[in-house]
């Protein structure tokens, strides 16, 4: 009889490397417990020309909900519950360009709230599908030509027509937004760098990430230099980021508290998407790539230091429809349309 058909037990030990791993114990923890404590990734190849500068990025796509926005969304909702402003009979309403909406929809699903989200019509169908079809949120679209500002205005109009029906976190003006990063993101960066961080920068969307993290880090070390990253152009292709001079300035954004802003051209961010993939094996979209472009610009101005930035999410969800910008790029074969954050 063939040995493999024998009923006798095998006499040799199974090598360790082919043994089945021990399965983790299933717990009753909520998926919301998986928000925060994201990895800090060092750039090993990009920026190596700056011999005495280390560049790191927070991998925020590791949050439940898939982005940095899960942190403030959870805090805004839970602070609303604590204050009594959010009750089970109310619908969570806010404007979003995608990531915050996904976080609201996920958290609402788990906590049992209805969610209504206002976003530009050109937000990709994959994101809309995740919010609506998977998490059950109601989607209202605003003009694609007005960007996030148009969604903000429309969301306010909906709220003002029936304020008793809605809980509107208003992420652009809610202190719980930046406080989420003060309490978590800053503390994580401080510990993960062994207190070595010297410079911090992040893109401006609502301003919550850059303001909260900067305040938290400076309370730990007042000498840390903090910067905001914004698109260089008023008409840009970096979805989720704001060009401040041409946008509604979020109430929580206080530019005077920062060392300054670093402007990133859209084209440079597009190119960095591919560079990150090829040189670091990291798949991110244009806002994350733009943050790294900003970090490199900063690295070129200092002799030594530890720079930390934030990669808001990965590029897995969709390709962004850039409208006219996309048409222009398709006519220019040297331009690339990157995957979206």
Catalytic residues: 69, 287
Q: From CA 16, how far away is CA 57, in angstroms rounded?
A: 35
Residues in the chain: 341
Report helix, strand or coil for 36.
coil
Q: How far is CA 42 from the centre of its chain?
A: 18
Q: From CA 233, how far away is CA 92, in angstroms rounded?
A: 33
Q: What is the DSSP code string of 250-269? A: PTT--GGGSSEEEEE-HHHH
Backbone angles phi, psi at 201, to 5 degrees: -150, 150
Are the beta carbons of 243 and 249 closer than 8 angstroms?
Answer: no
The pair of structure tokens assigned to 50 is 């700056």
The gap between the terminal CA atoms of the chain, to the nearest Å, is: 59
The runs of H, that is alpha helices, within 88-197 are 99-111, 125-129, 147-161, 175-180, 186-192
Backbone angles phi, psi at 176, to 5 degrees: -65, -25
Q: Is 115 exposed, middle or buried (CB count within 10 Å of its CB: 0-12, 13-18, 19+)?
A: buried
The pair of structure tokens assigned to 308 is 């930390």
Report helix, strand or coil for 193.
coil
Are the beta carbons of 126 and 157 closer than 8 angstroms?
Answer: no
């Amino acid at each position: 009889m063939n040995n493999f058909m024998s009923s006798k037990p095998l006499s040799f030990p199974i090598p360790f490397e082919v043994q089945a791993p021990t399965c983790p114990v299933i717990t009753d923890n909520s998926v919301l417990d998986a928000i925060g404590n994201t990895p800090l990734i060092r750039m090993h190849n990009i920026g190596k020309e700056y011999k005495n500068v280390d560049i790191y990025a927070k991998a925020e796509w590791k949050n439940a909900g898939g982005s940095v926005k899960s942190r403030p969304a959870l805090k805004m909702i839970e602070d609303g519950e604590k204050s009594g402003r959010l009750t089970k009979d109310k619908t969570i309403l806010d404007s979003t360009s995608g990531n915050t909406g996904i976080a609201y929809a996920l958290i609402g699903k788990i906590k049992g709230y209805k969610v209504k989200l206002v976003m530009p019509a050109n937000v990709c169908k994959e994101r809309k599908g995740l919010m609506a079809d998977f998490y059950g949120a109601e989607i209202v679209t605003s003009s694609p030509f007005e960007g996030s500002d148009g969604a903000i205005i429309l969301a306010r109009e909906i709220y003002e027509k029936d304020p008793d029906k809605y809980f509107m976190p208003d992420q652009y003006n809610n202190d719980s937004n930046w406080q989420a990063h003060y309490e978590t993101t800053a503390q994580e960066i401080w510990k993960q760098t062994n207190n070595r961080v010297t410079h911090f920068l992040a893109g401006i969307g609502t301003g919550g990430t850059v303001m909260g993290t900067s305040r938290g880090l400076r309370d730990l070390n007042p000498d840390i230099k903090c910067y905001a990253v914004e698109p260089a152009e008023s008409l840009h292709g970096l979805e989720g980021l704001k060009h401040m001079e041409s946008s509604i300035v979020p109430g929580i954004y206080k530019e005077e508290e920062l060392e300054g802003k670093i402007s990133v051209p859209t084209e440079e961010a597009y190119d960095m998407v591919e560079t990150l993939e090829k040189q670091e094996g990291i798949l991110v979209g244009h806002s994350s790539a733009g943050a790294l472009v900003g970090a490199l610009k900063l690295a070129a101005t200092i002799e030594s230091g530890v720079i930390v930035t934030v990669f808001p999410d990965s590029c897995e969800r969709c390709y962004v429809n850039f409208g006219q910008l996309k048409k222009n790029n398709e006519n220019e074969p040297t331009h690339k349309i990157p995957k979206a954050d």
